[in-house]
Amino acid sequence: MSNKTSLVLFDIDGTLMRGAGRPHRDALVEGIRKVTGRSTTLEGIATAGALDRDLIAIMLRAAGESERRIRAVLREVMRECEQTYVRNCTADLSPFLCRDVGGILEDLKSRGAVLGLVTGNLSAIGWKKVELAGLRSYFSVGAFAGDGRSRARVAKVAAQRARRKGLATQSSRISLIGDHASDVAAAKANGFQSVAVATGVLSREELAESQPDILVEHLGELDLSKLL
Q: What percent of the chain has pLDDT over 70?
A: 98
**Superfamily name with CATH number, domain 7-19+93-226:** HAD superfamily/HAD-like (3.40.50.1000)
Q: What Rg do the C-alpha atoms of the chain give, in angstroms?
A: 17
Q: Which of these, 83, 61, 79, lies nearest to 70 by C-alpha position?
A: 61
CB atoms within 10 A of CB 54: 16
- Report in angstroms the alpha-carbon separations of 103 from 47, 65, 118, 163: 28, 46, 20, 26
Give residue 205's pLDDT.
97
**Measured between alpha carbons, how far is 189 from 107 in angstroms, rounded to an integer?**
27
Using CB atoms within 10 A of its CB, is residue 51 exposed (0-12), middle (13-18) or buried (19+)?
A: buried
Q: Is 215 helix (H, G, I), strand (E, B) or coil?
A: strand
| Whether pLDDT at 75 is above 50 | yes
Q: Are 9 and 142 in contact (CB under 8 A)?
A: no
Q: What confidence tier does 5 reach under pLDDT thresholds 50, 70, 90?
A: confident
CB atoms within 10 A of CB 207: 23
**Measured between alpha carbons, how far is 110 from 189 in angstroms, rounded to an integer?**
29
Q: Is 50 helix (H, G, I), strand (E, B) or coil?
A: coil
Give residue 4's pLDDT.
63
| Whether pLDDT at 1 is above 60 | no
Mean pLDDT, rounded, for 58-81: 97
String of DSSP letters for 110-158: HTT-EEEEE-SS-HHHHHHHHHHTT-GGG-SEEE-GGG-SSHHHHHHHH
